[in-house]
Amino acid sequence: MKLSSPIYAIKRQAKLLARDNDIKLHEALNQLATKEGYRDWSHLASSYSNATPAKEVLSQLNPGDMVLIGARPGHGKTLLGLELAALAEKSSRKGYIFSLDYNEMDVWDRFAKLGIDQNANARSIVVDTSDDICAAYIVECLENALGDALVVVDYLQLLDQRRSNPPLQEQVQALKEFAIGQGAIVVLISQIDRAFELSSSDMPSIEDVRLPNPVDLSLFDKLCFLHGGEIQIEKAA
């Protein structure tokens, strides 16, 4: 049974419901669980006890979506992207990793940290670490690919590092058009500006995305931010 919102968002709704209606939190949780089709909150929670952040993110994605995953270094954005690619097969897709940040051995070493073996998953996950990676390169690689793709690009700010590559805005637009045209899901991992660490916010937002070159972030359908072990998924404006 698919939830109307991620569990963290339902918990947040429950806190507001409890405060606004002067009821106990467990009563608010039970009310929302009932609306989701469960007997009570414990029934809902037990049904999703094995859920991981990647599974939760994947459950919110649709064909044609372009997604941004943003976090400061060390908060798990690359591992989340890799796990999404590994889960692609369970949603009848093939996972593709295009990394400008790591070599192929490094990528598989990171997969190993997730318990994902290279030999067992080489057919369901394609890893490409070419220096030529850009939007046109990705589209060319995938235009004749069999089946639907879940594409992870690591990372956004490196796509136009070569002067010969088109401006970042044009590349993001091209990837969005590819996602829509092919029914693919395209995930771009993104840096977050270091100024975020000096703010009082407990979670990055779209304003914190590091953009050395202009990009229309409204091209993204979903935004996913990570910080301190927490995850937040939202629709782009």
Residue-level pLDDT at 52: 75
- Nearest alpha-carbon partner for 204 in 214, 188, 218, 191: 191
Residue in the structure block whose two tokens are 């997604």: 67
Question: What stretches of the chain adopt beta strand conformation (E)?
Answer: 66-71, 93-99, 125-128, 148-154, 185-191, 222-227, 230-235
Residue in the structure block whose two tokens are 């045209």: 181
Q: In what order do the strands lie in the sheet with 222-227?
A: 125-128, 93-99, 148-154, 185-191, 66-71, 222-227, 230-235
Residue-level pLDDT at 90: 78
**Is residue 2 classed exposed, middle or buried when 0-12, 13-18 and 19+ CB atoms within 10 A define those classes?**
exposed
Residue-level pLDDT at 85: 94
CA distance linking residue 237 with residue 216, whole number of Å: 11
Both tokens of 157, joined, read: 């700010």
CB contact at 8 A, 154 and 102: yes
Residue-level pLDDT at 100: 95
37: region left, alpha or beta (phi > 0 left; psi from -120 to 50 alpha): left
Other Cβ atoms less than 10 A from the Cβ of 110: the count is 18
Residue-level pLDDT at 50: 60
CB contact at 8 A, 3 and 41: no
What do you get for the CA distance between the two ends of the chain, in Å?
A: 27
Which residues of the chain have a pLDDT value below 50? none
Residue-level pLDDT at 51: 62
Residue-level pLDDT at 8: 67
Residue-level pLDDT at 145: 76
**53-235 belongs to which homologous superfamily?**
P-loop containing nucleotide triphosphate hydrolases (3.40.50.300)
Q: What's the one-letter identity of residue 73? A: P
Q: What are phi and psi of 76, to 5 degrees?
A: 95, 15
Residue-level pLDDT at 7: 72
